[in-house]
Structure 1
């Protein structure tokens, strides 16, 4: 008797709970868009002459012996 009641309650709760189908896909889409935005920002920053000069100096000093 108690098992039937518990099963009925759980079944009703399951039917009332919204489905999470597609939630993972939406999360991947959001993460992908954030990564694309971050990559775009890096491209803009790295194209500036100031940053390019800093990186060039850093590589030259790393490759210089002594």
Structure 2
């Protein structure tokens, strides 16, 4: 009867440390799964707020008058 013995390579401390580091990284990454969506939502809200403020500024009477003057001056320029 032939008995086969499988010799395994001894586990070193660096391999155990690497495995523990990898497990910690994977567990930490699980909590970040929805972060990209939340970040996109925050950026979208900021962009909408900025667009609202920009619209109010541009549609104000003072800015409208300044823009009209600028356009009239540009159209009446002689070349």
Is TM (by shorter chain) over 0.5?
A: yes
Residue 27 of structure 2 corresponds to residue 33 of structure 1: no
> Which structure 1 residue ranges, 4+ long, deviate > 2 Å from structure 2?
none
Q: How many residues align?
A: 64
Unaligned 5+ runs, structure 1 = none
Cα deviation 1:16-51 (Å, max 9, x = unaligned): 425210111111111100000001101111121111
Greater share of helix: 1
Q: Secondary structure of the residue that 2:21 maps to in structure 1? A: helix
What do you get for the CA RMSD once the two structures are aligned? 1.7
Higher relative contact order (CA 8 A, sep 6+): 1
Unaligned 5+ runs, structure 2 = 1-10
